[in-house]
Amino acid sequence: MKKVTMQDVANKAEVSKSTVSQFINNRYEYMAAETKVRIEQAVNDLGYIPNHIARSLKQKKTSTIGVIVANIIHSFSNEMIRAIEDVCEQNDVHMFVCNADDNPKKEKSYMEMLIAKQVDGLIIFPTGGNMDFYHSLKKNNFPIVFVDRKIEPSIYPTFMLDNKKAASLAVNELIESDKKNIGLVSTSISKSITPRIERVEGYKQALIDHDIEINNDYIITTERMNIIKSLEEMWKKDTFPDAFFAVNDLSLIELLKFLTSKRIHIPKQVSVISVDDSPFLEISTPPSSVIKQPTFDIGRDAAEKILELITNNKLKDIYEVNRYTPILIKRASV
């Protein structure tokens, strides 16, 4: 494949090479908006990789990989990191771990930094906000594996939970306990984060399958800092759910804080179940029922796949998404 140069970008955008250089180095505060758009489009269309990154992509293997998690606060992120580390240790490979905070700009900065450090490949919990850069790296045959979240089309191997199945398991468990007014609490879905969206969809479908009408007043999808406020507003209405499905550990924490503040007894007054397990949930009062991800299996398989891609150095055009079966752990909160 012919190497795309800065001059190629300049020709396509109909600007000078120095103007492209200013754009690449983020010096465009005095650049016309139209010019910036043309250069950005040319970069994306041509799949141009700046020289300092391109040079790093061509270096010899360094037996290192980078892992970029979307949000390291989640318990499952730490479990997957540990599983990845175990595989790396067995294969004499070192790893860098970075936390993107669900911020696409931060994610891209870490990708560029790790490539500049000449890592052999990346395992990414993708924010989904750097599609053009993902595709540019794919054009350069750079090994990447996605974990927990998917992008369309699936240009890299992807390993993640069957989120709709997880939601269905949770709702079914609540319904079997004679709960019908089932609420949902989720951190924000505004950034189209795959697991959250799929779990909300799975929750709705499970209600439909049981001929239970979806009550949008029972659904909270907001930033973590606003969850308790939203629950307060729900509490003031005529009816309040007799059960809740929390889509992840962060939303569960906020839900439990609210229920405790109102002295609502679990499970006598309200049943609770969530996705993702944590040691504190097993010893909480009462111990919380959860839908557990097979995090160590996902992390192990993702690590083995990235090492395979690094060795083979050949990427397919499209990959199937590898889905993992969720595990229901029954405790005393339902």
Confidence of residue 83 (pLDDT cuts 50, 70, 90): very high
Assess whether pLDDT exceeds 60 at residue 242.
yes
Confidence of residue 58 (pLDDT cuts 50, 70, 90): low
From the options 3.40.50.2300, 3.40.50.970, 3.40.190.10, 2.120.10.30, give the CATH code of 163-292.
3.40.50.2300
Torsion of CA 14, 20, 26, 27, to 10 degrees: -80
Return the DSSP state at 38: H
In this structure, are strands 243-246 and 182-187 parallel, antiparallel, or unpaired? parallel
* Buried/exposed code over 175-185 (b: 16+ C-beta within 10 A; e: otherwise): beeebeebbbb
Assess whether pLDDT exceeds 90 at residue 178.
yes
Provide the percentage of residues in the chain whose pLDDT is more than 90. 78
pTM here is 0.82
Assess whether pLDDT exceeds 80 at residue 29.
no
Residue ranges of the domains in the chain? 6-48, 61-161+296-324, 163-292
256: left (phi over 0), alpha (psi -120 to 50) or beta: alpha
The amino acid at 120: D
Nearest to 248 by CA among 125, 93, 135: 125
Specify which of 70-79, 133-142, 273-282, 293-302 reaches the highest per-range mean pLDDT. 293-302
Give mean pLDDT, residues 213-240. 96
Token pair listed for 5? 């140069």
From the options 3.60.21.10, 3.40.50.300, 3.40.50.2300, 3.50.50.60, give the CATH code of 61-161+296-324.
3.40.50.2300
**Tell me, what's the pLDDT at 52?**
61
Give mean pLDDT, residues 37-64. 78
Confidence of residue 57 (pLDDT cuts 50, 70, 90): low
Token pair listed for 12? 């396509």
**Tell me, what's the pLDDT at 2?**
63
Residue-wise DSSP of 131-152: HHHHHHHHHTT--EEEES---S
The CA distance from 222 to 237, in Å, is 19
**E strand intervals along the chain:** 64-69, 94-99, 121-124, 144-147, 158-161, 182-187, 219-222, 243-246, 271-275, 289-292, 321-324, 327-329
Assess whether pLDDT exceeds 80 at residue 322.
yes
The domains spanning 61-161+296-324 and 163-292 adopt the same CATH topology:
yes
**Tell me, what's the pLDDT at 192?**
84
